[in-house]
Amino acid sequence: DVLADLPAGLELLDQLSGLYAERALAELGAFPQAGIWQTLADLQQTLPLADHADPRLQRLLEIGVAAGALEEGGEKFRALHPLSRALPAELLARACKEHPELSGQLELLSRCGAELAGVLRGEVDPLSLLFPDGSLATAENLYRDSPFARVYGGMAAAVARKFAEERLAAEKLAGKVSSGLRILEIGAGTGGTTAFLLPALAGHPFRYDFTDLSAGL
């Protein structure tokens, strides 16, 4: 079962996300004293953000609350303890050892998590974290080899295969020459879903087009 060990792995991912969010807030200088309430607007005005309306700050606060580092009251937030700047190296190593099936998620989380403050300050290009030196390796792992990709890709392949078989059978029954399938995938990215669908369509006439916002992808 591809998903059998996922709950434990996802719990570790959540813990790591909370620690990286706490580190980013600490590096930005948020909540220098525990227990003092601040609104999102307060933080947007005082923190060294490249874009003071950056929605990622709100998301960091939400993750901090879920992780137990922050408390939310109305529209205000406060730190429940002095925020740590430490990298969660020990927990990351444990997660990598116990859940190799989540290697793509863990690699991307560690790479991006360590640089979150720099991204919000405008000092680090987020695309360089997602695609270091233009490499698609991590993204391809995430969208092709991860448990989620394998389950959803397998489901998509099964649907495509069944549709192709039923379409061909109906055309034969009607005495028609197959015109073939025409498939359009919008936002194909690294081709993770495509990689599942093409083998499933083998033996059936088809044309497959896909688009993506990025010419590089």
pLDDT tens digits, 98-152? 999 999 999 999 999 999 999 999 999 998 999 898 888 998 889 888 888 999 9
Report the distance separating Cα 30 and Cα 41, nearest Å. 12
Closest CA to 23 of 72, 67, 53: 67
Q: Which pTM does this prediction carry?
A: 0.84
Report the distance separating Cα 159 and Cα 167, nearest Å. 12
Task: Tell me the sheet residues that pair with 94.
Answer: none
Give the mean model confidence (pLDDT) for residues 78-101.
95
Residue 1 pLDDT > 90, yes or no?
no
Give the mean model confidence (pLDDT) for residues 143-171.
91
> Please, what is the average pLDDT of the chain?
92
- Say if residues 78 and 70 touch (Cβ distance below 8 Å): yes
